[in-house]
Amino acid sequence: MKKREKKPAEQEPAQEKEDAAKPEGSAAESSVTESVIEPEEPAKEARKYKRRRALRLALLILAAYALIVAAVAVLVDGRHVRFYMASDGEMTVECGQPYYEPGCYAVTYGKLFGESQRRLPLRVEGEVDTGKVGSYELRYIVRYLFREYETSRLVTVTDTTAPEITLLYKEGYRPSWLDGYEEEGYVAKDLCDGDLTEQVQREVFPDRIVYTVTDAAGNTATAERRPDYAVTAPEITLLGGDKLEYNACLYFTDPGFTAKDSLGNDLSGYVETEGEVIPYKPGLYELSYSISNAQGEKVSAVRTVNILPVGAPETVDPDRNTIYLTFDDGPGPYTEQLLDLLKVYGVKATFFVTCNNPDYEDMVGRAYREGHSIGVHSATHNYYSIYASEEAFFEDFNAAQNMIYEQTGSYTSLLRFPGGSSNTVSSFNSGIMTRLTQAVTDMGYQYFDWNVSSGDAGETTNTRQIAQNIIDGCTGRRASIVLQHDIKDYSVAAVEQVLIWGRNNGYSFRALDLSSPAAHHTIFN
Ligand code: ZN
Question: Cα separation of 471 and 455, whole Å?
Answer: 12
Half-sphere exposure of 450 (CA within 13 A, CB side): 26
Q: What is the distance in A from the centroid of ligand 1 to the CA of 249?
A: 24
Q: What is the distance in A from the centroid of ligand 1 to the CA of 378?
A: 8
Q: Which of 175, 195, 225 is the last residue of a domain?
A: 225
Residues above pLDDT 90, as percent of the chain: 70
E-state strands within 367-489: 373-378, 414-415, 446-447, 452-453, 479-485
Q: Per the domain annotation, does 49 fall within a domain?
A: no
Residues 6+ apart with CB under 8 A from 259: 234, 235, 236, 237, 266, 267, 268, 270, 271, 289, 291, 299
One domain, residues 378 and 487:
yes
Q: Which amino acid is at 293?
A: N
One domain, residues 392 and 452:
yes
Nearest to 144 by CA among 69, 66, 72, 74: 74
Question: What pLDDT shows up at residue 8?
Answer: 38
Q: Is the pLDDT of residue 4 over 50?
A: no
Beta bridge partners of 211: 202, 223
One domain, residues 355 and 495:
yes
Chain-centroid distance of CA 349 in Å reads 66
Q: What is the distance in A from the centroid of ligand 1 to the CA of 457?
A: 9
Question: What pLDDT shows up at residue 21?
Answer: 41
One domain, residues 110 and 146:
yes
Question: What pLDDT shows up at residue 155?
Answer: 93
One domain, residues 201 and 279:
no
Return the number of other C-beta atoms located less than 10 Å from residue 67's C-beta.
Answer: 12
Averaged pLDDT, 488-497: 97
Question: If DSSP codes are grouped into helix, strand and coil, which group holds residue 14?
Answer: helix
Question: Cα separation of 331 and 400, whole Å?
Answer: 12
Return the number of other C-beta atoms located less than 10 Å from residue 29's C-beta.
Answer: 14
SS (H, E, C) 304-351: EEEEECCCCCCCCCCCCCEEEEEEECCCCCCHHHHHHHHHHHCCCCEE
Mean pLDDT of the chain: 89
Nearest to 363 by CA among 215, 261, 487: 487
Q: What is the distance in A from the centroid of ligand 1 to the CA of 332?
A: 13
End-to-end CA distance of the chain: 139
Question: Cα separation of 45 and 53, whole Å?
Answer: 12
Q: Is the pLDDT of residue 413 over 50?
A: yes
Q: Per the domain annotation, does 425 fall within a domain?
A: yes
Question: What pLDDT shows up at residue 40?
Answer: 64
One domain, residues 124 and 242:
no
Q: Per the domain annotation, does 393 fall within a domain?
A: yes
Q: What is the DSSP string of 205-224?
A: -SS-EEEEEE-TT--EEEEE
Averaged pLDDT, 478-496: 97
User: How does pLDDT run across 228-272, given as a tens digit for each residue?
Assistant: 776 678 899 999 999 999 999 988 999 999 998 877 788 899 999
Question: Cα separation of 394 and 391, whole Å?
Answer: 5
Question: Cα separation of 299 and 271, whole Å?
Answer: 9
Q: Which of 308, 342, 359 is the last residue of a domain?
A: 308
- When pLDDT is cut at 50, 70 and 90, the band that residue 18 belongs to is very low
Q: What is the distance in A from the centroid of ligand 1 to the CA of 426?
A: 14
Which residues lie near ion ligand 1 (Cβ < 5 Å)? 328-329, 418
Q: What is the distance in A from the centroid of ligand 1 to the CA of 294?
A: 56
Is 317 labeled as catalytic in the residue annotation?
no
One domain, residues 467 and 361:
yes
Averaged pLDDT, 186-192: 94
Question: Cα separation of 18 and 27, whole Å?
Answer: 14
Helix axes 495-504, 463-474, angle to 10 degrees: 30
Averaged pLDDT, 397-405: 97
User: How does pLDDT run across 430-475, given as a tens digit for each residue?
Assistant: 999 999 999 999 999 999 999 999 999 999 999 999 999 999 999 9
Q: What is the distance in A from the centroid of ligand 1 to the CA of 417?
A: 8
Given the residues 159, 190, 193, 328, select the one marked as catalytic. Answer: 328
Is 328 labeled as catalytic in the residue annotation?
yes
One domain, residues 121 and 211:
no
Return the number of other C-beta atoms located less than 10 Å from residue 325's C-beta.
Answer: 30
Averaged pLDDT, 265-292: 94
Higher pLDDT: 189 or 114? It is: 189
Question: What pLDDT shows up at residue 75?
Answer: 80
Q: Structural domain tally of the chain?
A: 4
Question: Cα separation of 495 and 351, whole Å?
Answer: 14
Q: What is the distance in A from the centroid of ligand 1 to the CA of 488?
A: 12
Given the residues 372, 377, 485, 520, select the one marked as catalytic. Answer: 485
Q: Is the pLDDT of residue 25 over 50?
A: no
Question: What pLDDT shows up at residue 38?
Answer: 57
Residue pair 344/292 in contact (Cβ under 8 Å)? The answer is no
Cis status of the peptide bond prior to 331, with omega within 30 of 0: yes
Q: Per the domain annotation, does 55 fall within a domain?
A: no
Question: Cα separation of 396 and 446, whole Å?
Answer: 17
Question: What pLDDT shows up at residue 37?
Answer: 52
Question: Cα separation of 399 and 381, whole Å?
Answer: 12
Q: Per the domain annotation, does 51 fall within a domain?
A: no
- When pLDDT is cut at 50, 70 and 90, the band that residue 144 belongs to is confident
Q: Is the pLDDT of residue 81 over 70?
A: yes
Q: What is the distance in A from the centroid of ligand 1 to the CA of 422?
A: 13
- When pLDDT is cut at 50, 70 and 90, the band that residue 312 belongs to is confident
pTM over 0.75? The answer is no
Q: Report the CATH number that the domain containing residue 199 is assigned in CATH.
A: 2.60.40
**Range with top average pLDDT, 6-15, 96-105, 121-130, 391-400:** 391-400
Q: Report the CATH number that the domain containing residue 385 is assigned in CATH.
A: 3.20.20.370
One domain, residues 217 and 262:
no
Q: Which of 225, 244, 259 is the last residue of a domain?
A: 225
Q: Identify the domain containing residue 353 by its residue range.
A: 322-509
Averaged pLDDT, 338-354: 98
Residue pair 448/521 in contact (Cβ under 8 Å)? The answer is no
Averaged pLDDT, 201-210: 90
Question: Cα separation of 433 and 393, whole Å?
Answer: 11
Q: Which helix (H) or strand (E) holds 33?
A: helix 2-36
One domain, residues 220 and 240:
no
Question: What pLDDT shows up at residue 422?
Answer: 97
Q: Report the CATH number that the domain containing residue 107 is assigned in CATH.
A: 2.60.40.10
Beta bridge partners of 14: none
Question: What pLDDT shows up at residue 230?
Answer: 65
Q: What is the distance in A from the centroid of ligand 1 to the CA of 347?
A: 22
Return the C-alpha torsion angle 41, 42, 43, 46, nearest 10.
130
Nearest to 190 by CA among 94, 99, 100: 94
Phi, psi of 245 (to 5 degrees): -130, 130
One domain, residues 300 and 329:
no
Q: Per the domain annotation, does 37 fall within a domain?
A: no
Q: What is the distance in A from the centroid of ligand 1 to the CA of 38?
A: 186
Q: What is the distance in A from the centroid of ligand 1 to the CA of 387?
A: 14
Q: Per the domain annotation, does 504 fall within a domain?
A: yes
Buried b (16+ CB within 10 A) or exposed e, 182-204: eeeebebbbbbbeebeeebeeee
Phi, psi of 361 (to 5 degrees): -65, -25
Question: If DSSP codes are grouped into helix, strand and coil, which group holds residue 259?
Answer: strand
One domain, residues 180 and 153:
no
> Would you say how long the chain is, in residues?
525
Question: What pLDDT shows up at residue 39?
Answer: 58
Q: Per the domain annotation, does 54 fall within a domain?
A: no
Q: Is the pLDDT of residue 32 over 50?
A: no
Question: What pLDDT shows up at residue 5?
Answer: 37
